């Protein structure tokens, strides 16, 4: 008879993986089902890679609580997982009198949210802090605790730590149905049947569809698309802090930010779309983003664009996260985790663990944690090429050994996209002109050798 | 720290001809640093004829030309699998299999070549399926790895290199469905449109722009725009040809560095790059800046 898991998590995005990690580390038998050919192939693959303080989150919201817990836990565990942190801080910059008048309220809200170090910055000080920023800013707010992280290595590290604690991750395992009987869930998936005593639905852009296995979904996913433009590395030194706009009711707006990989990027837009599967870009929007970046940072003129991408954030009709336990059916819903998921994931996992303890019984006493540091891809920490080896991707200085490592083991890259995210091969200025054929040949060779 | 009289960055036609000429002129210590495992540059993966006339009065395939260039510099200090990470004044930071080291050079010649503009900076809309690549990447797939990445691509652009893409496709049994050019005439200085039609049976459309690419895993269509009308063409790949940009990132800290070949100016044939390398060597020998 097939194994019965304590917990089955649907969705291998940053939230699902953080939950898997938390429950596996607590000593439960866990499995995760991901519909894509790799983890992080949905909403989590395209975000702005920022670690937020929650200074602008709705006061008293679950989102704020999870973001702040997630921010703190990331800082606490990142060194043991070899995860990067660029302590850039953020500046909310006002570009008009009307926007300047709203800065006071932003500071008040930040202080109410417990982010006490947020303070005003006058245009003269702003000019000293960010000399390349276009003149014409009317004022700013400094948020020292906003940081830049690596959006893929962090969830990858959570996944590896979960595996080290005995969890299983099934890919190409879209959940197609489920039955609950005698306190036990039987989930049907494209990777076979999975039995578990509890289901945690963290299916992101497909959360409402998975929810119908349990009940008519109380929430509907309305994917919100965000497009981004990434500039070449010479642009990164043009700004120090993350440059945020004064937010509107609907969105945090378009952000200008350095990446942990040494680029400069702008995005995201916020466009309501019907598409859940793939996020498309459009020429007009990309042009507008570039113009917006140039308007804020005139010295960007002439710097090349390395990449463009789009992500889909799983918004619902509700402003806050939807996280609740359905006790009789042994099910926990984790939905509507929009743009703050990367920051909040560890906090969400902790909150979900609390729900479990309250409704489904105490967790076993956890074994000693096993730390699974991931390879560093960012500029702030040592990288493998510095020790020698054959460089395959010359734009991002990715070595053959890194590519081979990403194609081996229980969480080997499931596709070329996953390989890019794990290594950054083909992610630089030439976008594979020089190395794509070689990298893809290595990938095909590994696929042939795979079981 | 090791010191050299001249360090040439890039072992393609320009860099290798400069090294050869410097040795003929008796210039002291000269090193070529090439990041790929084999020198020869882009011609290494241009498997069709059309190389060697200006330099050797022969007509070879790209790999034959590259092999001849390597033969010409036998005995000289050509270090392959050496990546220059950065230049600071007269010092080069170099990576090889053993680690990172510094090399000092009295003169530095950059012959780092060029690359085609990939999809991202062109701001083409749509999804991001596989099967979208530059001609250079296609040639590496076909000639270096014997891989057929698609069978019915659309070719974007009509510079010389687009015809290299056609030849590469033919070599692999790939049948392009169309070649499109945004301007109102073919860019290549040649009766190119005629050649594309007559020699390859490929339809050429001018004043036509690529708007978007669709497909989930592999490309399934492109959206084109011509005179304000849009049209969908079914295909399984997109070859983005031309729109060359210099591989000039090493210029960041040495904007005054001496250049040869396609790292500067309009894109040139390998023969002209070879000649520029030779001329650069002569300028170095004469002590010119």
Cβ-Cβ contacts under 8 Å, B9 against chain A: none
Cβ-Cβ contacts under 8 Å, B95 against chain A: 385-386, 388, 391, 397
Q: Which residue pairs from A394-401 have beta carbons closer than 8 angstroms and sit at least 24 positions apart in sequence?
A: A394/A428, A394/A430, A394/A434, A394/A435, A394/B35, A394/B83, A395/A427, A395/A428, A395/A429, A395/A430, A395/A434, A396/A261, A396/A424, A396/A425, A396/A427, A396/A428, A397/B83, A397/B85, A397/B95, A398/A423, A398/A424, A398/A425, A400/A442
Cβ-Cβ contacts under 8 Å, A279 against chain B: 127
The average pLDDT across A444-449 equals 90
The average pLDDT across A338-350 equals 96
Cβ-Cβ contacts under 8 Å, B116 against chain A: 433
**Interface residue B120 vs chain A (CB under 8 A):** yes
Interface of B with A in 157-176 (CB under 8 A): none
> Comparing A353-357, B91-95, B125-129, B263-267, which segment has the lowest mean pLDDT?
B263-267
Task: Give the single-character DSSP code of A133.
Answer: S
Nearest residue in A to B95, CA atom: A388
pLDDT for residue A449: 80
**Interface residue B32 vs chain A (CB under 8 A):** no
User: Homologous superfamily of A88-146+222-315 in CATH?
Assistant: D-Amino Acid Oxidase, subunit A, domain 2 (3.30.9.10)
**Beta-carbon contacts below 8 Å between A and B:** 109
**Interface residue A369 vs chain B (CB under 8 A):** no
* Domain(s) of CATH 3.30.9.10: residues in chain A: 88-146+222-315
Give A447 to chain B, closest Cα distance, Å: 15
> What confidence tens digit (pLDDT) does each residue in A271-298 have?
999 999 889 999 999 999 999 999 999 9
- Mean of the per-residue pLDDT values of chain A: 95
Q: Is A430 in Cβ contact with B115 (below 8 Å)?
A: yes
pLDDT for residue B194: 62
The average pLDDT across B152-164 equals 92
Q: Phi first, then psi: what are they for A293, rounded to 5°?
A: -65, -45
Optimal mutation site among A277, A281, A397, interface B, most CBs of chain B within 10 A = A281
Residue A438 has pLDDT above 90, yes or no: yes
Please tell me the CATH code under which domain B2-113+247-285 is placed.
3.50.50.60
> What confidence tens digit (pLDDT) does each residue in B197-226 have?
666 788 889 999 999 999 999 999 999 999
* Domain(s) of CATH 3.50.50.60: residues in chain A: 1-87+147-220+319-377
**Interface residue A293 vs chain B (CB under 8 A):** no
The tokens for A76 are 């606490």
* Domain(s) of CATH 3.50.50.60: residues in chain B: 2-113+247-285, 117-240
Q: Is B124 in Cβ contact with A283 (below 8 Å)?
A: yes
Q: Is B125 in Cβ contact with A280 (below 8 Å)?
A: yes
Give B186 to chain A, closest Cα distance, Å: 23
pLDDT for residue B198: 66
- Mean of the per-residue pLDDT values of chain B: 93
Cβ-Cβ contacts under 8 Å, B98 against chain A: 388
Optimal mutation site among B96, B140, B225, interface A, most CBs of chain A within 10 A = B140
pLDDT for residue B176: 95
Please tell me the CATH code under which domain A1-87+147-220+319-377 is placed.
3.50.50.60
Q: Is A416 in Cβ contact with B97 (below 8 Å)?
A: no
**Interface residue B146 vs chain A (CB under 8 A):** no
Architecture of the CATH domain B117-240: 3-Layer(bba) Sandwich (3.50)
Q: Please tell me whether residue A426 adopts helix, strand or coil conformation.
A: coil
Residue A147 has pLDDT above 80, yes or no: yes
Cβ-Cβ contacts under 8 Å, A290 against chain B: 123
């Amino acid at each position: 008879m097939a194994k019965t898991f304590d917990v089955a998590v649907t969705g291998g995005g940053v939230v699902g993986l953080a939950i898997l990690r938390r429950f596996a580390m607590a000593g439960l038998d866990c499995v995760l089902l991901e519909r894509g050919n790799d983890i992080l192939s949905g909403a989590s693959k395209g975000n702005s890679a920022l670690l937020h303080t929650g200074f602008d989150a709705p006061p008293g919201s679950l989102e704020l609580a999870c973001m702040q817990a997630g921010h703190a836990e990331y800082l606490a565990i990142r060194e043991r997982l070899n995860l990067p942190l660029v302590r850039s801080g953020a500046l909310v910059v006002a570009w008009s009198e009307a926007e300047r008048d709203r800065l006071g309220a932003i500071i008040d809200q930040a202080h109410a949210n417990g982010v006490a170090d947020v303070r005003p910055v006058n245009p003269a000080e702003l000019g000293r802090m960010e000399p390349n920023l276009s003149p014409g800013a009317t004022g700013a707010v400094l948020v020292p605790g906003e940081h830049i992280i690596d959006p893929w290595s962090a969830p990858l590290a959570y996944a590896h730590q979960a595996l080290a604690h005995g969890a299983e991750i099934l890919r190409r395992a879209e959940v197609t149905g489920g039955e609950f009987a005698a306190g036990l869930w039987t989930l049907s998936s494209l990777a076979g049947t999975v039995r578990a005593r509890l289901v945690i639905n963290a299916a992101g852009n497909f959360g409402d569809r998975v929810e119908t296995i349990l009940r008519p979904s109380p929430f509907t996913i309305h994917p919100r698309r965000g497009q981004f433009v990434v500039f070449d590395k010479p642009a990164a030194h043009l700004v120090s802090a993350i440059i945020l706009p004064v937010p509107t009711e609907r969105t945090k707006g378009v952000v200008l930010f350095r990446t942990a990989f040494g680029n400069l990027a702008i995005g995201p837009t916020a466009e309501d779309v019907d598409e859940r599967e793939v996020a498309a870009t459009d020429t007009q929007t990309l042009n507008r983003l570039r113009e917006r970046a140039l308007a804020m940072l005139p010295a960007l003129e002439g710097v090349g664009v390395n990449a463009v991408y789009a992500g889909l954030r799983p918004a619902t009709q509700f402003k806050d996260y939807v996280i609740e336990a359905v006790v009789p059916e042994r099910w926990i819903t984790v939905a509507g985790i929009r743009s703050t998921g990367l920051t909040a994931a560890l906090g969400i996992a902790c909150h979900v663990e609390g729900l479990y303890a309250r409704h489904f019984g105490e967790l076993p006493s956890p074994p000693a944690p096993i730390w699974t540091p991931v390879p560093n891809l960012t500029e702030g920490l040592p990288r493998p090429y510095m020790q020698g080896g054959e460089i395959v991707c010359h734009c991002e200085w990715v070595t053959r050994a890194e590519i081979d490592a990403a194609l081996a083991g229980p969480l080997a890259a499931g596709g070329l996209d996953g390989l890019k995210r794990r290594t950054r091969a083909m992610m630089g200025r030439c976008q594979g002109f020089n190395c794509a054929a070689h990298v893809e040949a290595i990938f095909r060779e590994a696929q042939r050798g795979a079981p | 720290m090791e010191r050299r009289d001249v360090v040439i960055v890039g072992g393609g036609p320009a860099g290798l001809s400069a090294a050869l000429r410097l040795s003929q002129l008796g210039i002291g210590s000269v090193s070529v640093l090439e990041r790929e495992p084999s020198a020869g540059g882009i011609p290494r993966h241009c498997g069709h004829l059309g190389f060697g006339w200006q330099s050797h009065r022969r007509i070879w395939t790209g790999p034959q030309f590259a092999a001849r260039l390597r033969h010409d510099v036998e005995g000289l200090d050509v270090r392959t699998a050496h990546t220059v990470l950065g230049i600071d004044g007269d010092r080069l930071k170099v990576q090889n299999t053993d680690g990172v080291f510094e090399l000092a050079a009295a003169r530095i010649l950059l012959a780092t070549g060029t690359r085609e503009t990939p999809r991202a900076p062109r701001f083409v809309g749509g999804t991001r399926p596989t099967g979208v690549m530059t001609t250079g990447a296609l040639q590496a797939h076909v000639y270096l790895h014997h891989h057929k990445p698609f069978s019915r691509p659309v070719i974007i652009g009509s510079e010389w290199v687009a015809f290299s893409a056609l030849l590469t496709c033919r070599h692999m049994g790939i049948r392009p469905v169309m070649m499109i050019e945004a301007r109102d005439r073919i860019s290549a200085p040649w009766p190119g449109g005629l050649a594309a039609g007559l020699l390859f049976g490929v339809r050429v459309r001018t004043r036509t722009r690529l708007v978007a690419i669709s497909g989930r895993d592999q490309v399934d269509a492109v959206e084109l725009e011509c005179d304000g009308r849009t049209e969908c063409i079914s295909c399984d790949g997109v070859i983005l040809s031309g729109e060359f940009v210099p591989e000039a990132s090493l210029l960041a800290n040495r904007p005054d560095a001496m250049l040869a070949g396609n790292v500067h100016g309009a894109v040139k044939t390998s023969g002209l790059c070879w000649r520029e390398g030779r001329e650069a060597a002569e300028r170095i020998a004469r002590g010119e800046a």
